[in-house]
Amino acid sequence: MNKGFAIILVSGGMDSCVTAAIANREYAMALLHVNYGQRTEARELKAFTTIADYYKVKRRLVADISYLKEIGGSSLIDQKMKIEHSSSFRGRKIPSTYVPFRNTHFLAIATSWAEVIGADTIFIGAVEQDSSGYPDCRLSYFRAFNKLIGQGTKPETRITVKTPLISMSKRDIVIKGLKLEAPFHLTWSCYKESKRACGRCDSCILRLKGFSEAGIKDPTPYKK
Amino acid sequence: MNKGFAIILVSGGMDSCVTAAIANREYAMALLHVNYGQRTEARELKAFTTIADYYKVKRRLVADISYLKEIGGSSLIDQKMKIEHSSSFRGRKIPSTYVPFRNTHFLAIATSWAEVIGADTIFIGAVEQDSSGYPDCRLSYFRAFNKLIGQGTKPETRITVKTPLISMSKRDIVIKGLKLEAPFHLTWSCYKESKRACGRCDSCILRLKGFSEAGIKDPTPYKK
């Protein structure tokens, strides 16, 4: 069987790692990572590189969009803003870590690259329900993006964005990853720290909840 | 009357200059320019700066997305590819100067910036009919992008992309610009050269046609 050819967005967190594990079964992979001036940029890049090595992927692109830091408006990229501790994940307002329209920048890069190298699929590990509630992580957003690709690329181009985790719980993502031998030990999720994870930001809390509910020990080192 | 607040994408060419002239009547303006490794990058930036000075706009953002050059796939950014001379503008295939999905990168930056600074409108000087035939310059593309903004930003955010030139001919754009005193003498359109315009690339031919049909002398210096 001829494998398809896909670009996988790999931030270095657990969701994108499991997404790569899923794509790896059916596609030849090219991996994309984006630096956007986030606090843990270097740690995430290290996670990306080691995950790409793990899957023996040669075709890699690391794109810098540091203008996002200049635009600001998010505690992930503005050191003057405070990252809230996680308290409740449903029904509250969009957290300060929301980076305005971020996924559009990521997917624009992936789509341009896909059109040039001839990939027909883009995988992104977005999660809708069990997440921080960012608007650009909703299924309706990705549907709209797929329509945009149809309008903004060459007539012969066929590229589809796929979101295999969109409806999964963090628990199910952990279980799926284990089954596919995703290298969780190489991933990094914390928004704030780069040596030992803080264990208190949205991203840490969601991760810890997933591992806890799956009954699995998270290999990430946490602050005491 | 309270003016609205808009971001104008200003490449430095004649279309974006006339677009700024149109927006200037009804909006307070913030101007956005994007460097993407195109051949005439420095010349276009100079045009942007002098146009921004002309309109006395303080709020400016110059974003660098040099990863587009790394992705390649277009003669505008890949010096090994040849820029075709213009021959016919209708019914032929998409020219080599097409930069894959480029407007999505530009509009993603504009939308993120608009959400942070509170602008409610984005102006882009795209032209559909009398143009090079890029897929991401069609009205249907911008309609799809406006839907994407609705899905990918905060619930309270209202941002609309406007394309006042989309159905205009190059001739009408020249006439409109003259009427609004758009500073054509500050603009730069040539894809290839930065001192004297080549007069032969798509962009020069479209510009010359517009001025010629309007019966106006183009202030750009051309090669003999």
Q: How far is A47 from chain B (nearest CA, A)?
A: 21
Rounded to whole angstroms, the Cα distance separating A49 from A57 reads: 10
Rg, Å, chain B Cα set: 17
The beta-carbon neighbor of B153 closest among A70, A101, A108 is A101
User: Both tokens of residue A152?
Assistant: 């903004």
A138 touches B at CB < 8 Å: yes
Q: How many CB atoms lie within 10 A of CB B217?
A: 9
ipTM over 0.90: yes
Per the domain annotation, does B128 fall within a domain?
A: yes
Per the domain annotation, does A223 fall within a domain?
A: no
Measured between CA atoms, the residue of chain B closest to residue A154 is: B135
The beta-carbon neighbor of A148 closest among B66, B112, B144 is B144
Tens digits of pLDDT across chain A (224 residues):
578 999 999 999 999 999 999 999 999 999 999 999 889 999 999 999 999 999 999 999 999 999 999 999 888 888 888 887 765 444 557 888 888 999 999 999 999 999 999 999 999 999 998 788 899 999 999 999 999 999 999 999 999 999 999 999 999 999 999 999 999 999 999 999 999 999 999 899 999 999 999 999 999 999 98
Q: How far is A160 from chain B (nearest CA, A)?
A: 14
Q: What is the pLDDT of residue A15?
A: 97
B139 touches A at CB < 8 Å: no
Q: What is the pLDDT of residue B7?
A: 98
Measured between CA atoms, the residue of chain B closest to residue A115 is: B100
Per the domain annotation, does A224 fall within a domain?
A: no
Per the domain annotation, does B219 fall within a domain?
A: no
Per the domain annotation, does B222 fall within a domain?
A: no
Angle at B211 between CA B205 and CA B217, to 5 degrees: 115
Measured between CA atoms, the residue of chain B closest to residue A100 is: B112
Q: In chain A, which residues have their Cβ closer than 8 Å to the Cβ of B73? A: 112, 115-116
B136 touches A at CB < 8 Å: yes
Enclosing domain of residue A162: 4-214
Q: Quick one: which of A60, A96, A94, A101 has its CA closest to A78?
A: A96
User: Both tokens of residue B120?
Assistant: 């409610």
Q: In chain A, which residues have their Cβ closer than 8 Å to the Cβ of B97? A: none
Q: Tokens 């990521």 map to which residue? A: A106
Question: How many CB contacts within 8 angstroms connect chain A with chain B?
Answer: 137
Per the domain annotation, does A221 fall within a domain?
A: no
Q: Quick one: which of B188, B173, B176, B78 has its CA closest to B130?
A: B173
The CA-atom distances, in angstroms, between A12 and each of A93, A196, B104 are 26, 15, 24
Q: Tokens 């803003």 map to which residue? A: A81
The CA-atom distances, in angstroms, between A179 and each of A13, A172, A176, A184, B134 are 17, 11, 5, 12, 45
Phi, psi (degrees; rounded to nearest 5) at A34:
-125, 125
One-letter identity of residue B66: S
Q: Dihedral of CA A72/A78/A80/A84: which sign?
A: positive
Contact B18, B178 (CB under 8 A): no
User: Both tokens of residue B110?
Assistant: 């504009």
> Cβ–Cβ of B104/A101 closer than 8 Å?
no
Which secondary-structure segment (H or E) carries A123? Answer: strand A121-123
B120 touches A at CB < 8 Å: no
Strand order in the sheet with A160-162: A60-64, A27-35, A4-9, A121-123, A160-162
Q: In chain A, which residues have their Cβ closer than 8 Å to the Cβ of B104? A: 104, 108, 111-112, 148, 152
One-letter identity of residue A120: D
What's the DSSP call for residue B66? T
Per the domain annotation, does B97 fall within a domain?
A: yes
Q: In chain B, which residues have their Cβ closer than 8 Å to the Cβ of A94? A: 154
Q: What percent of chain B has pLDDT over 90?
A: 81
Contact A65, B65 (CB under 8 A): yes
Residue range B65-85, pLDDT digits in tens: 999 999 998 888 888 888 876
Buried b (16+ CB within 10 A) or exposed e, A122-139: bbbbbbbebbbbbbbbbe
Residue of A33, A101, A107, A115 for testing the chain B interface, max B β-carbons within 10 Å: A101
Strands (E), B89-151: 121-123
Contact B119, B5 (CB under 8 A): yes
Q: What is the pLDDT of residue A97?
A: 87
Rounded to whole angstroms, the Cα distance separating B38 from A170 reads: 43
Strand A27-35 relative to strand B160-162, pairing: unpaired
Q: How far is A196 from chain B (nearest CA, A)?
A: 31
> Cβ–Cβ of A111/B98 closer than 8 Å?
no
CA atoms within 13 A on the CB side of B57: 27
What's the DSSP call for residue A154? -
B156 touches A at CB < 8 Å: no
Q: Identify the CATH number of the domain in which residue A57 sits.
A: 3.40.50.620
Position with higher pLDDT, B86 vs A61 = A61
Residue of B76, B99, B101 for testing the chain A interface, max A β-carbons within 10 Å: B101
CA atoms within 13 A on the CB side of A156: 4
The beta-carbon neighbor of A100 closest among B94, B112, B144 is B112
> Cβ–Cβ of B67/A71 closer than 8 Å?
no
> Cβ–Cβ of A61/B71 closer than 8 Å?
yes
Cβ-Cβ contacts under 8 Å for A93 (sequence gap 6 or more):
none
A41 touches B at CB < 8 Å: no
Q: What is the pLDDT of residue A90?
A: 46
Per the domain annotation, does A219 fall within a domain?
A: no
Contact A10, A51 (CB under 8 A): yes
Report how many domains make up chain A: 1
Which secondary-structure segment (H or E) carries B61? Answer: strand B60-64
